[in-house]
Structure 1
Amino acid sequence: MSASIGQHWKQVNKCEDLLGADFIARTFAFSGPKTQVHSTLIHHAGNPNAEKAILYVHGYTDYFFQTGLAEHFIHLGYRFYAVDLQGYGRSIRPSTPPNWCDSIEKYSQDLDIALATMKQDGVNDVVILGHSTGGLVVSTYLAHPHALPERASHYNKAFPAVSGLILNSPFLALPFPPLVLNKISWSIRALVSALPFLYLRAKKINIYSKTLHRKFGGEWDYRLDWKPAEGFDLSFHWLREIIFAQRNLANQKIDIPTLLCHSKISTIGKSTVEETQQGDGVLDVDSMQDAANRTFNNLTTASIPKGFHDLYLSHQPAQTAYLSAITDWLKQFNENQQKP
């Protein structure tokens, strides 16, 4: 970031979002490594004068579509924003592969844009909510020495304060149990470093998608071109950058109040939708918890029985438990902020 940060991008569009009249989408263009890239900031029109807001950052093969999540925070008195990162959802462009990742740090551009725009809208205090890979992205951003704008006086006018962090099943560790992960980490790193241009082609509909989308018997309707049921092709370069970011984050310390929410159990490798729906079918919750314990100094954990990988997309009892955990944490968080 620099003092002249506002000169690094331009807003190229503002319109009613595809989610309906309550949502506005703004598109920003800026220079990427090879070509111009775009980032999209979506916000709910509710609570237009509130100075505190939530910024939601989606996961891998994902975009923002959870209108009920936005409405939950509006009901709590927050403004609500979400970003579709460069190469995802509303920000996908023909010039670059979907989800392409030169490095996790590149997404600091999207977060800079989102936070600076929120500040221009009158937001002074932000709690960031990151899901899955989005949790790794925002944690990496916050761990950077210059990431928190309030640390340097010349950033104060450009950015709101980021005072809290909520993690929804963050991708802080590869999806293996802790003991297994310790044994195979080196070999995985060596493989993806040796073959960075290799892709694993996405051909088969994954079982996690079958737990979600109405087309396969789930409860949710979202765009399958932006969140395909078989996923996008998996780049080994992307996986290498994920591993680098996870290793780097493990050596950092983040002090801001953090709520970690994850399912009570992992159900990776289960053969049926019903079995997968009993927990997190994508990541290992024990490795996730271990990684979070290493990095976050002010950590609260909520374990959600029968929560899916995206806890908000769980069946109603688990979704309610997830939202209640956030509400309770935010209440305590705000009370602590008000103490002298």
Structure 2
Amino acid sequence: MNSSVQWSPDVLGEGFLQATLELKPDSEGPVVATLVKAAAPPVPSFFSRLMKKQSLVATNTDVLYVHGWSDYFFQKNLAAYWRSQGAQFYALDLRKYGRSLRPGQSEGFIDNLADYDEDIEAALESIGHGTRASGHDHAVQAGRKLVLMGHSTGGLIFSLWADRNPGRFTVLVLNSPWLEYQLTAAARALVAPVLRAGTKINPKTTMPSIDFGFYSRAVDKHKSGEWEFNYDWRPEHGFPVRPAWLNAILTGHAHVAAGLDIQAPVFTWLSTRSLLVPRWSEDMMRADVAIDVKIVAARVHNLGKLVTLSRIENAMHDVVLSARPIRLKAFSELTRWLRAYL
């Protein structure tokens, strides 16, 4: 680990630390990413029992997690899972998200997903897996295995990064990755030129929102869910959608559709169904209300030569926020896979 990283207490409380990573400024001013470290989060009883019954699957391992769109890291139970398996867990709030969002910045905005390479490299350098530590060779040369884990947009970002950086990590774990828009590829191809034109005229103009707030309702403990989070960092109706950002996302989707060549094993969680409708239903507690899982399931096989798809019945978009029996089944599936490939 980089000894120069300055850790301070994190908003998640006991057992969590954070470090600010300075990045190159842009037209909106100073830019940072934030690395969160789960030093010793409480381990739920289920994970404690699991530790006693089975050998750990992630010893000598570092995990780096990246969140999705309009999101940030708050999933303590995910950190507890990885810690229960012997891993050191880190999460990265990307520039202009969550802990990294600064006044006057366009929330979540970027016009090229590859720009996140700077955020990722800063995080990897901080935890001992930077290019200076690994010499662009396999991550085990740094002395520890490296798991990359991405949720939703974070899954898309990490998939593209993994394709460009073979040998830098051990396995890739994806939680409902946003690998294709909620359209067919043909429809995406029609929309893309219009977006590119809008990007040139006014890249940051606000587009109409299509987020009805149903996902937040399904997650929020004060509504229908069981989790607590900061609405300033994870707004009910999501961040404003801007043409240049959406163009960057569709460009990423097009790269996946054309086929990636991720060399390491890839594991993906997806719900068995989506529910993309404009009216609230209790069924939204048992479905993905953010992406079309059928379309994404087809795209998973474009990631590389060794991919595993785990369909979790009644799972929500963020699988680890699903109802307790569902998320425990998902963790069990991941553990079984890690025994084979990690």
2:100 aligned to 85, 91, 98, which one? 91
* 1:119 aligned onto 2:152: no
Distance 1:203 1:298, change over 3 A: closer
Distance 1:223 1:327, change over 3 A: same
Aligned-partner Cα distance in 1 for 2:211–2:22: 34
Letter in 2 for 1:108: D
**Number of matched pairs:** 307
Retained in 1: the 8 A contact 2:23–2:119? no
Bigger mean CA deviation after superposition, 196-205 or 285-294 = 196-205
Shift of 1:46: 3.8
Retained in 2: the 8 A contact 1:143–1:249? no
Shift of 1:258: 0.5
Aligned-partner Cα distance in 2 for 1:311–1:204: 19
Structure 2 portions without partners, runs of 5+: 42-58, 134-141
Retained in 2: the 8 A contact 1:208–1:273? no
Letter in 1 for 2:196: S
Letter in 2 for 1:26: A
Letter in 1 for 2:39: A
Retained in 2: the 8 A contact 1:208–1:282? yes
Shift of 1:242: 0.4
Shift of 1:201: 4.8
Aligned-partner Cα distance in 2 for 1:110–1:69: 21
Normalised TM-score (structure 2): 0.84
Aligned-partner Cα distance in 2 for 1:283–1:307: 12
Letter in 2 for 1:306: N
Bigger mean CA deviation after superposition, 250-259 or 311-320 = 250-259
* 1:41 aligned onto 2:45: no
Corresponding position of 1:324: 332
Corresponding position of 2:239: 232
Retained in 1: the 8 A contact 2:163–2:262? yes
Distance 1:200 1:123, change over 3 A: farther
Corresponding position of 1:135: 155
Retained in 1: the 8 A contact 2:159–2:303? no
Structure 1 portions without partners, runs of 5+: 1-5, 151-160, 335-340
Corresponding position of 2:48: none
Retained in 1: the 8 A contact 2:175–2:318? yes
Normalised TM-score (structure 1): 0.85
Shift of 1:260: 0.9
Aligned-partner Cα distance in 2 for 1:123–1:240: 39
Question: Quick one: percent identity of the two aligned structures?
Answer: 28
* 1:194 aligned onto 2:188: no
Matching of residues 5-16 of structure 1 within 5 Å = 13-16=6-9
Over the aligned positions, Cα root-mean-square deviation in angstroms equals 2.2
* 1:162 aligned onto 2:165: no
Corresponding position of 1:20: 13
